[in-house]
Amino acid sequence: MAVAFWVIIMVVSGLAELHTNALAGLFVGLGAAVAFVVALGGASFPVQAVVWLGVSAVTMAFLRPIALRRLNRHPAGDLAHPVDSALTGQFGVVEDEVGDEVHPGRIKIRGESWRAITDSGAPIAVATPVVVTRAFGTTLYVAPRSTTP
């Protein structure tokens, strides 16, 4: 009976981790896995529960912060600021007049519509060719495309 309980805890923890990405379910599930092994060894349920809580608490306290730091590293640097992206340097055409952050517009690149703002803040009219200079999330920073080679 206790073995099935720990399997259920592991499955529920795994599903919760898939839903949240907080790494809490991972360590609760790890504690349940250790308690599962202890249950297979014939320990009483109170001992299994103490093992589960202890392993969950210790791994969450010591391993979770390390794992979160490693997972939150990004090779592009600080994500709070616009960065170069795969779309940097791509050419598009203005679909809806593009302005500053308060007046964003839309551009089309390779058949896809993207939210865009200007680097300078000066509006860019519809049908104007533009180039992507950087990105912030799904917002592209654009400038008018130079017609000179």
Q: Amino acid identity, residue 101?
A: E
Q: What pLDDT, on the 0 to 100 scale, is given for residue 46? A: 95
Q: What pLDDT, on the 0 to 100 scale, is given for residue 94? A: 96
Does pLDDT of 147 surpass 90? no
Q: What pLDDT, on the 0 to 100 scale, is given for residue 67? A: 83
Strand partners, 144: 130
What is the chain's mean pLDDT, rounded? 87
Does pLDDT of 149 surpass 60? no
Strand partners, 73: none
Q: What pLDDT, on the 0 to 100 scale, is given for residue 99? A: 92
Percent of the chain having pLDDT more than 70?
89
Q: What pLDDT, on the 0 to 100 scale, is given for residue 116? A: 94
Residue pLDDT, tens place only, 44-53: 999 999 999 9
Q: Is the pTM of this model over 0.85?
A: no
| Of the options 3.90.1310.10, 3.20.20.70, 1.10.10.920, 2.40.50.140, the CATH number for the domain spanning 91-144 | 2.40.50.140
CA 147 – CA 40 distance, rounded (Å) = 73
Residue pLDDT, tens place only, 66-120: 888 777 665 444 445 556 678 888 999 999 999 988 899 999 998 999 999 997 8
In the chain, ranges of CATH 2.40.50.140 domains: 91-144
